[in-house]
Structure formats: structure tokens, C-alpha cells
Copies of this chain bind each other. A is one copy, B any other.
């Protein structure tokens, strides 16, 4: 048994199977603009332009890509106004909210790690 007892199975071969879904998560939330978008949307729904203003440094190209990826993964949904189709709103889905627990744990570990690294 591996030392990462929860993570590891009983054989090295199984490791690959365990790694894959973890990679998936990294691929989903690891993009440069993914977390800024998610946190902005968790605060409240936003229009494209609003997001671009709020997320410092993002270009329309990258914002568009990030939103599209998040939408494909079901974490964010797009809502086009029926009266005025130039008004588009992005919102976090309830599924997107399910990332919360994970992000909190990542953050906790990260905060602790920063302290640790600084003091060494």
C-alpha cells in the first residue's frame, strides 16, 4: 500500500487510474483565467464586459475561451437576453458551486504551504 493511503491503490499500475481524474480537475481549474472567472461569477452573475473589467489583465480572447471551457464542463452557463441579444449574462451553475469544498481545501493547504515555505 502506498503512503498516500487514500489516494493510492495497492499496485503501481492502479496509480494511473487514480491520477487521471485528478489531472482532469487540474485541467479544468488550472487554466490561467479559470479561477478569476469562477470567483467573479460566484460573487454574482456578470456580463462579458463586466467580467473583462473586473478581471484585471484578461483579453477578450482569453476570457471568451475560459468561459467556453467552463460552459462545456457545465460549471458556468450563458444566458442571452430575449429582448436584446447583445445582452449576455454568465452565471455559475449549481454544479459549479460543487467545486466549493474542493477549492476551500486547496486554499487551506496552499495557505499553510506559503507559511511553511516562508518560515523555512
The chain A residues found within 8 Å of chain B, CB to CB, are 2-8, 12, 15, 18-26, 28-30, 35-36, 38-44, 54, 73-74, 92, 95, 97-111, 113-114, 116-117, 120
Q: Hey, which chain B residues are within 8 Å of A5, CB to CB?
A: 100
Contact status B103-A105, CB under 8 Å: no
A12-B40, A39-B19, A54-B12 known; A6 vs B109 contact (CB < 8 Å): no
Q: Hey, which chain B residues are within 8 Å of A3, CB to CB?
A: 41-43, 92, 97, 100
Known: A7-B100, A25-B109. 11 other contacts (CB 8 A): A3-B41, A3-B100, A6-B100, A6-B101, A7-B107, A22-B103, A22-B107, A26-B30, A74-B116, A101-B105, A105-B105
| 21 A-B pairs (CB sep. < 8 Å) | A2-B39, A3-B92, A4-B39, A4-B103, A6-B100, A7-B42, A7-B104, A7-B107, A8-B42, A12-B39, A12-B40, A15-B36, A15-B43, A21-B108, A21-B113, A24-B114, A25-B109, A26-B26, A74-B120, A99-B109, A102-B109
